[in-house]
Structure 1
Amino acid sequence: MSDLNEKEEIEYLPYCIGNIRHNGVVSTSNRLIRPIELSSNEYKALLYAMAVANYGEKNNLDHEITEQTYIYLHKDDLGELLGLNKKNSINVAIDRIYKELSSRVAHFVIEEPVDDLKRKVKKVHSVVPIIRELRWEDDSKNALQIRFTSEVLPYFTRLANGNFTTYQLKDLFALDSVTSMSLYSYIVKNEFKYANLDAYEVELSLENLKALIDIGDKKYDRWVDFRRYILDKIVEEINNKTSLELEYDSIKKGRPVVGVRFKIINGQKEILIPQSNEKTKIYLDVDFNDNALVKELGAKFDMTVRSWYIYANDPNYKELSKWFKPEGCLTDSQANVIVNDNLFQMEFSTPGVSMNEFKKEMKYKLKNDRDFVQANRKRLNEIFGKEVI
């Protein structure tokens, strides 16, 4: 073999394999805002791949990770991080990741020099492809294999001298929505500024907050809708599933809300899963796209009340806990039946409110407002035709 070929063989790391799991970390450049339009599982798979790349880089200092480097995401490791533990459910989840991830792009903010003497740099927003190659459809299906593009690699490799943030995978992976993960990442990214404080405040304009969590500027243009359907859910999930505790106030300019002031309280708190009697049915609030996953995890469907359920002693209790519905509220499928009922619409609709707005508001109440459900429990059961609580 020639010297040239030997040189080529050591120019890059052929593959990265890391058994990262829940005790792992991932480091990314602060110039990376987020990959856009990703499902939570796709985002978690990308973060895990970046963590494996970080791990490979630390253990192979003389080799560079390039577009030619295959990063192996072992199925069992990825399944554990996604909260799955049955072969078929893991395959279903990774099949979905494989089909969607290859066409995704990432969003960056890049500072470039300018000739203007008043400014040294200008900020340029750049959208680039993430994946060079993705492999999964082999006979054994033991690992998802990713090759990243050269445009993306600098944002999570060779970061020693750059401006970057390190995240605990277990904290990011505890969150179910990409919007929650995006806000959580932003807060952690800015945490170093307030390292010695037990509590601090961060302000974001409403426009920047929507951009951060990838909500279109025209979507949820009314503050009351954005707060109710988006922001409250994000804050609740971060508070329930991570060590951060968030509070927020609106920032107004006259009457319109123009921004949000977050108060962040640092501290560790134990995340508890509620316990029930072993023979008690626990009903699940399952999105249609997740039906196959909960079925593979052993959940059963109760046709009487149109809802998936498990028993409290189910071996997959923890994996399925992400779908537990709030106590005393309805599941998504139950709420759909109620809000589409003509009698319910006649009794509960408000003059001047469109039918779409009415359904959206009522569905949220049925799924999240226990007091409203309890106050109207008898009537809801009559409309549904069965006991839905």
Structure 2
Amino acid sequence: MTDTNNFSEDQDHIPYCIGNIRHNGVVSTSNRLIRPIELSANEYKALLYAMAVANLSEKNNQDKGITEQTYIYLYKDDLADLLGLSKRNSINVAIDRIYKELSSRVAHFIIEEPNQDAKKKTKKVHSVVPIIRELRWEDDLKNAIQIRFTSEVLPYFTQLAGGNFTTYQLKHLFALDSVASMSLYTYFIKNEFKFTNQETYEVALTLENLKALIDINETKYDRWVDFRRYVLDKIVAEINENTDLHLEYETIKKGRPIVGVNFKLHHRAFEKPTIEIRATEREKIYLDVPFEDNATVKDLGAKFDMNVRSWYIFNDDLNYPHFKKWFKQLGCLTDSQANVVINDSLFQMDFASVGMSLSDFKKSMKHKLKTDSEFVLSLRERLNDIFGKDVV
């Protein structure tokens, strides 16, 4: 790790930035920064976190700024928290991948420059530049990634007091799992100033611009039904479930062909909650729903979690009392969740008994997963690995 004692106190820049803001902070970026190119979600989140740390350090040290010489420390535990990783091995794998791939990434900007044409004073120029000047990840300690940004990138998230920039809540960005969702969400927030104090507003995008915004090749998913099913509906569902925006959309047609999408946005910041409950107390309640009741719970407002193969509601749902008949036993799994577990090959290898048929094992274990809360609790870490999230 860099010896911070080597930095003299009379330097005109901040020598290093250390942040511990996690999900509670904000990040501000210039509106001329479109997005980093070809980043994975983890790389994008690590970059945003580094920018947020820089924002905070500059705010706390108003007489000094961030330069190419400034090291920004992203500690492993903080990264693991924002990426939703719990096992040590998965944390190291994710950070190693970020380290190896982030160093070669570039950013896409739109720059306005003087124009020789007297009719137009300025011209717009697209520019692609490196993001990282130096990236350090020490083999022995492996406790923090140290980042130095290039001078070309720094102005787009530092010294923004007098510029055209947007501030985003980290908790909403970090709740999204795809870069496409993050790109569309930030686009809407960036343009929100045009609709100040409006609870609901509309934003229209051509299909070509929408695909460019979420980094989908124009020729990919050229059939609207495929683009809607495999891309757009998933993005809209993820933003609606995890952020302060609620999206609906309708198509824009030119004759019969669909040429664009008109988004209708509702900002939940304007809502007056009917139930007083802190955000940290809001949690999912998974439901044990027989197949024949699927349509009923859907009509009542339940949603389906594809990762854990189960219907769910939130504990502040207005229709909460109507779902009680489908509540699973406390601390246990639903029928569909138990099916996922008993069909996991590694789970079968670890828990199957010698001489017991596979069908008998599944029947016995399924009953135990649905009724024995202590047994389920003992499997909590394994269940998190299977489902990729906490289900009990």
Deviation at residue 273 of structure 1 after TM alignment:
2.2
- Give secondary structure in 2 for the equivalent of 1:44: helix
Which deviations, in whole Å up to 9, do the C-alpha atoms of 1:74-127 show, x marking residues without a partner?
Answer: 111111111123332211211111111111111111111212232222111111
The answer to whether the 8 A contact 1:70-1:146 is kept is: yes
TM-score by length of 2: 0.71
The answer to whether the 8 A contact 1:83-1:319 is kept is: no
Q: Relative to structure 1, is the Cα distance of residues 21 and 6 closer, same or farther in structure 2, using a 3 angstrom cutoff?
A: closer
Distance in 2 between the 1:234 and 1:240 partners?
A: 10
Deviation at residue 279 of structure 1 after TM alignment:
3.4
Q: What is the match of residue 261 of structure 1?
A: 262
Q: What is the match of residue 100 of structure 1?
A: 101
1:280 aligns with 2:333: yes
1:1-389 to structure 2, matched below 5 A, reads 10-267=11-268, 272-275=283-286, 276-277=328-329, 278-280=331-333, 282=337, 301=347, 313=377, 315=380, 323=388
Distance in 2 between the 1:167 and 1:235 partners?
A: 18
- Give secondary structure in 1 for the equivalent of 2:148: strand
The answer to whether the 8 A contact 1:283-1:324 is kept is: no
The answer for unaligned runs of 5 or more in structure 1 is 286-294, 326-389
Q: Relative to structure 1, is the Cα distance of residues 253 and 321 closer, same or farther in structure 2, using a 3 angstrom cutoff?
A: farther
Distance in 2 between the 1:210 and 1:8 partners?
A: 49
Identity of aligned residues (%): 68
The residue type equivalent to 1:105 in the other structure is V
Distance in 2 between the 1:108 and 1:318 partners?
A: 43
Which deviations, in whole Å up to 9, do the C-alpha atoms of 1:267-314 show, x marking residues without a partner?
Answer: 1586642335433273799xxxxxxxxx9xxx9655789xxx998646
**Aligned CA-pair RMSD:** 3.1
The answer for unaligned runs of 5 or more in structure 2 is 1-5, 274-278, 287-327, 350-357, 360-365, 370-374
Deviation at residue 231 of structure 1 after TM alignment:
0.5
Distance in 2 between the 1:40 and 1:19 partners?
A: 20
The residue type equivalent to 2:40 in the other structure is S
Deviation at residue 323 of structure 1 after TM alignment:
4.0
Distance in 2 between the 1:216 and 1:246 partners?
A: 23
The answer to whether the 8 A contact 2:7-2:15 is kept is: no
Q: Relative to structure 1, is the Cα distance of residues 6 and 77 closer, same or farther in structure 2, using a 3 angstrom cutoff?
A: closer
**53-62 or 162-171, larger mean C-alpha shift:** 53-62
Deviation at residue 217 of structure 1 after TM alignment:
1.2
The answer to whether the 8 A contact 1:107-1:128 is kept is: yes
Q: Relative to structure 1, is the Cα distance of residues 318 and 84 closer, same or farther in structure 2, using a 3 angstrom cutoff?
A: farther
Distance in 2 between the 1:302 and 1:183 partners?
A: 41
How many pairs align? 306
Distance in 2 between the 1:283 and 1:191 partners?
A: 43
Q: Relative to structure 1, is the Cα distance of residues 136 and 30 closer, same or farther in structure 2, using a 3 angstrom cutoff?
A: same
The answer to whether the 8 A contact 1:245-1:266 is kept is: yes
Deviation at residue 324 of structure 1 after TM alignment:
6.5
The answer to whether the 8 A contact 1:98-1:136 is kept is: yes
Distance in 2 between the 1:68 and 1:216 partners?
A: 37
Deviation at residue 252 of structure 1 after TM alignment:
1.1
